[in-house]
Structure 1
Amino acid sequence: MSIAVTAAGRETPIVSLIERLTLLLTGSTSEDYDAERGQAVTRVVNGPLTLLCLIVALLLGDQDATFTILVISAYAAIYIPASWILLLRTIKRPGYNFGRRVFAMVNDYLAMTFVLAMGGAYTLPVWALVLWVTVGNGLRFGLRYLVAATGCALASLVVTWMFNAYWQANPFMVVTLAITAILVPAYIFGLLARLQAVYNTALEANLAKSRFLAQASHDLRQPIHAISLYIACLQDAGLGAEERSMVEKIDRSLHSVSRLFRSLLDISTLDSGKVQPSVKPVAIGKLLEDIAQQNSRAAEWAKVSLRVVPCAHHVLADDVLLTTMIQNILSNAFKYAPGRKVLLGCRRRGGKLAITVHDQGEGIAEVHLPHVFEEFYQIREKGDRDVEGVGLGLPIVLRLGRLMNLTVGMRSVQGRGTTVSIEGLEIVPAPATPAPRKDVPLPSVMNGLRVLLVEDDQDVLLATATLLEKWGCTVRAETAPPATVDGCDVLVTDFDLGGKRTGADCIALVRKLAREDVPAIVMTGHDETRVRAELGDPSIPILAKPVHPAEMRSVLSTVVLGMSGRRQPKDQASP
């Protein structure tokens, strides 16, 4: 059995058909459901039905043929085209638009009033549409629109009474309709007000939860980050076999805790709505190789044989968000298919690229498949061993996929394994490659490198400085942005430095004091997108805490290699 989850909402066949047609006409892509679009689709469906009612009423009445044709033509020529124009505009430019909402409401009530006034007794059922539209405006747009729509409905009733002889001859019917037009919206108003109060309470609780998760995961990242660096120092300290085995187990446990806090921060960041994709051409083959390399130790711990299928394509994507998606899927494969083979690769589907992760684990029972993308849902069977995690990996994958208009699917067969796919990646030509540069030999790239380290947490500062010195760097460690800069090859700074100062402020100050663009690296426990926006410089690497020492060394080496030829560490300078 397989299950596919997409960003699109579920709709009725007629709504789906109309929206497919309008998307084709406008050249737009599918957007998440919004209230204005739903109202516009309803208008397009109701227009022909109301016109049919008007035709029947006029044909059964005693009006002459010329009058009948004029009335029908006026309705068909004005209201129906206006309804389609509103739908096309809503799909082309989705979201809130006050002027468009007012125009749509006026258009609706004028059309319905026209039909009621012209049709006599035969168009009386159209009053049900008036109530439907009135309640619909309130449910879709809120209490103020419900009040305004109720006023429009009563105005419609008055105008119809003034021009329709049948209504004038039945005053008690008009009074009954007027009472209905007041009582039904008033009842809905009370329900909406109570629902809004409950919703606001739930929203505040959810925001408080998100803030707590973000703050807790950020604060706990600091000591975990320091422990990770101290472990790296211990691994290079010439320990015996038994001691190295113990340090390795500590590192493995710490890696699990680190991934847990990363998931908590990811979900709280997504809840805040501040994550915005930065799409650019990405070499998918290199991205997959890098991800496999970053997860090699986790695969080794799980005794998983991880194989990557080479891919030469480039796709449009946010490489950071896409990396997070794939890493979460791999983490699940390692947990649920230990000691098995895991395959990471790509394939073309419908002219686009799909990334697939296939494991040879036990598979997932059919009863669990519809729920695997729900937050905090974990597969538990009687007698199962405990599996680390809180059930946030796949929900994060799904939500990140929605941000990039990608489809996340899963196929699983018990006893044969599970395949998770990320589909819909647009293939693009490879960008022009820069001319190759002459690399500095890696073994000596750190020797004598002058690093200015700024970190307000003493434990993290000491751990980072100790590790950098073991790599051969000359470190100047500061708990705040320095007042002077004397000989600095690279700046490594935390982002939150206290005293309303950030890593961006530190970088600007150091570069001003040094009178040159000193290469910088930022370490942070916050959302990378927010930090990137505040830095305003896409060339500055950002390391998410807790930083794995191998990742720090790789980034630092890349920065040093990038500045070779412009400046050199002391021991590599020309005599």
Structure 2
Amino acid sequence: MKKVTDPDGYSVSQLLGLGQQSARKSYYPELTARMAELEAERNRYKWLFENALHGIFQASLGGRLLAANPALAAMLGDADVAATLERCASIEALFAEPGEAQRVAALLHERGHLQGFTTWLAGSDGRRVPVALTLLRKPDQGEEILVEGFVADITERERARQELLALNARLEARVRERTQRLEQLNADLAGEVAERRLIEEQLRAARDLAQEANRSKDRYLAAASHDLLQPLNAARLLVSTLRERKFDADTSRLVDTIHLSLEGAEELLTDLLDIARLDQERIQPQRECFSLSRMLCGLVAEYAPRAQRKALRFRCVESSLCVDSDFRLLGRVLRNLLSNACRYTESGSVLLGVRRRGDAVSIEVHDSGPGIPADQLQAIFEEYHQLNAERARNRQGVGLGLAIVERICQRLDMAIEVTSRPGRGSRFAVRVPIGQPSPALEAASVTALPESPLQGRRMLVVDNDSRILLGMQALLEQWGMECHTAHDLDEALAQGLAAPDVLLVDLHLDAGETGDRLVEKLRRHWRQPTLPAVVITADRSEEWRRSLAGLDLPLLHKPVRPGKLRAVLSQLLGRESR
């Protein structure tokens, strides 16, 4: 049977010499069977060649395309195989790149075969078809080099590669853009950092100036306060002495007016100092467990006389409980509340009482004063706020007392409560946690401490201000005490006195001497290490307060209130008498 594509060739039978009558007829059946197998194999390969999914061709590297399958024709966009063979009569025409055929031939000579070689074939419509070639060199066919090629269309892969390249290019462009933006942002940020550093330096300089100004203000305020409080304290002591003497009605009113004026000046100065120290957080709580009776007795001794001078009933409901708080700050809160109650109550009573509330106690101040409208219950804690003070004659103080109360309560984590009925009176209450007293404190605590009589008790007062000495001597002698005075240690010792019952010394004396050292020297002189002593000063610093508290020396701030002085002395001398 002859090939369809080669009608002039020889059939298999002719090639085998079976077309003539041969004498070897005995081999005819076997040869016929063999020939049929060969023909079947040929048809199978032909079917595979024509129906393969990939392009297949046979070519001579030196000349033309010899054969191609339909898949290759379709891949190149030709109508059929004949069109492909006609268009690519020269092997050069098969490749899209000039000189590509020579390059492929050189590689094939060098390697003997090519596998997965990527190139571009020329399509019928002028397009370039990306392919992967596998070329096998056939055995030598004389001078002509024959190759068989297998072609895989990699258009999709190439498109994906191009898209990937484009995507990479876009990403690189975006990276460059973002990099430029980041560089610009970094440059802007560097500028902002430099500007912020400049601003911070300016702020630090301004802060340093403000702190220095604040320290200068504190130094000035301390110096001015001391200079103001010294004569004010002397005047208060002298006026208090006069108030306890018998005068006619006009003179008594004049003395009371002077007393109120001095008291107002004292409270103004004290409140201004305290509010400034609280706002600057220079007052740090020193919590301790102490008996309420100790505090309540002192408050009664201090404020009962003030209430009596206004014909007010003053009552105290005492308690043997111990609380955990700052003795001095809690006392300041209660003093402010009692001071307001005595000041604004014109008739009726003032009550200081204690009620237990679970694990806390409510310390309350009740009065029968004018009361507070409901819409003013919060406003009264604002600085400089006073009720019914539109006119100057109605103003009492400067309106800092309750502002100080609120700040101290915040510092001590105490709740403050106020209720009031206009025309009936007001109730202020602070809630303080109950403390667990030590056995020594329980043994020392008493339910009530009666005011110790001062009559006949001997006191030594040491102060470098003659006005203070004069006023203090007049007041103490008015109370029936025997009072000796001195400006310093040498003057005190020069008098040859026997040991007094109590010492009252100023903190800052001349030549750098301090009250705590003076007390120690006097105790050694009289060989009485527990001789009672009280220190008075216009210095309100926390350092001195803690230092004196550590020495168990009571501290009173100038101007000294006579009632508070009487209460402290009564406690000290009463403790000694027991």
**What is the TM-score of this pair, normalised by structure 2?**
0.58
- Relative to its length, the structure with more helix (as a share) is 1
Q: Cα offset for 1:177?
A: 3.4
1:219 paired with 2:227, answer yes
Relative distance call for 1:553 and 1:330 in structure 2 (3 A) is: closer
Q: 2:327 aligns with which of 319, 325, 333?
A: 319
What is the CA–CA distance in structure 2 between the aligned matches of 1:343 and 1:421, rounded to whole Å?
12
Q: 1:508 aligns with which of 517, 520, 538?
A: 520
- Relative to its length, the structure with more strand (as a share) is 2
Deviations 1:444-489 (A, max 9, x none): x642x44332111011112223444455544442211127354222
Counting only pairs closer than 5 Å after superposition, residues 160-175 of structure 1 correspond to structure 2 as: 170-175=178-183
Q: 1:549 aligns with which of 552, 562, 569?
A: 562
What is the CA–CA distance in structure 1 between the aligned matches of 2:260 and 2:543, rounded to whole Å?
29
What is the CA–CA distance in structure 1 between the aligned matches of 2:214 and 2:200, rounded to whole Å?
20
One-letter code aligned to 2:278: L
Counting only pairs closer than 5 Å after superposition, residues 346-385 of structure 1 correspond to structure 2 as: 346-347=354-355, 351-359=359-367, 361-364=369-372, 371-379=379-387, 382=390, 385=393
8 Å CA contact retained: 2:289, 2:436: yes
Counting only pairs closer than 5 Å after superposition, residues 72-471 of structure 1 correspond to structure 2 as: 170-235=178-243, 237-240=245-248, 242-270=250-278, 273-284=281-292, 287-288=295-296, 290-300=298-308, 305-339=313-347, 342-347=350-355, 351-359=359-367, 361-364=369-372, 371-379=379-387, 382=390, 385-410=393-418, 418-423=426-431, 425-428=433-436, 431-434=441-444, 446-447=455-456, 449-471=457-479
One-letter code aligned to 1:509: K
Q: Specify the alignment match of 1:488 in structure 2.
A: 499
Q: Cα offset for 1:208?
A: 4.2
What is the CA–CA distance in structure 2 between the aligned matches of 1:232 and 1:514, rounded to whole Å?
32
What is the CA–CA distance in structure 2 between the aligned matches of 1:343 and 1:415, rounded to whole Å?
17
The alignment partner of 1:499 has SS state of: helix
The alignment partner of 2:509 has SS state of: strand
One-letter code aligned to 1:405: D
How many residue pairs get aligned? The number is 399
Relative distance call for 1:294 and 1:472 in structure 2 (3 A) is: closer
8 Å CA contact retained: 1:232, 1:467: yes
One-letter code aligned to 1:432: E
8 Å CA contact retained: 1:214, 1:269: no
RMSD over aligned CA atoms reads 4.0
8 Å CA contact retained: 1:364, 1:412: yes
Compare relative contact order (CA 8 Å, sep 6+) and give the higher one, 1 or 2: 1
Q: Cα offset for 1:213?
A: 3.7
Q: Which has the larger radius of gyration?
A: 2
Relative distance call for 1:192 and 1:220 in structure 2 (3 A) is: same
What is the CA–CA distance in structure 2 between the aligned matches of 1:554 and 1:415, rounded to whole Å?
32
Q: Cα offset for 1:393?
A: 1.2
One-letter code aligned to 1:488: A
What is the CA–CA distance in structure 2 between the aligned matches of 1:270 and 1:264, rounded to whole Å?
10
Q: Cα offset for 1:495?
A: 1.1
Q: Cα offset for 1:359?
A: 4.6
8 Å CA contact retained: 1:493, 1:503: yes
The alignment partner of 1:477 has SS state of: strand
8 Å CA contact retained: 2:462, 2:485: yes
Q: 1:498 aligns with which of 490, 503, 510?
A: 510
Q: Specify the alignment match of 2:79 in structure 1.
A: none
Q: Cα offset for 1:515?
A: 3.3
What is the CA–CA distance in structure 2 between the aligned matches of 1:283 and 1:536, rounded to whole Å?
17
What is the CA–CA distance in structure 1 between the aligned matches of 2:374 and 2:175, rounded to whole Å?
60
8 Å CA contact retained: 1:213, 1:264: no
The alignment partner of 1:456 has SS state of: coil
Relative distance call for 1:314 and 1:368 in structure 2 (3 A) is: same
The alignment partner of 1:432 has SS state of: helix
The alignment partner of 1:496 has SS state of: coil
What is the CA–CA distance in structure 2 between the aligned matches of 1:339 and 1:458, rounded to whole Å?
40
Deviations 1:139-197 (A, max 9, x none): xxxxxxxxxxxxxxxxxxxxxxxxx9985784223323323432444444454444445
Relative distance call for 1:299 and 1:470 in structure 2 (3 A) is: closer
Relative distance call for 1:377 and 1:536 in structure 2 (3 A) is: closer
What is the CA–CA distance in structure 1 between the aligned matches of 2:349 and 2:318, rounded to whole Å?
17
One-letter code aligned to 1:398: E
Q: Cα offset for 1:505?
A: 2.1
The alignment partner of 1:526 has SS state of: coil
Deviations 1:361-406 (A, max 9, x none): 5555566555543433445665685212222212222222233222
The answer for unaligned runs of 5 or more in structure 2 is: 1-171
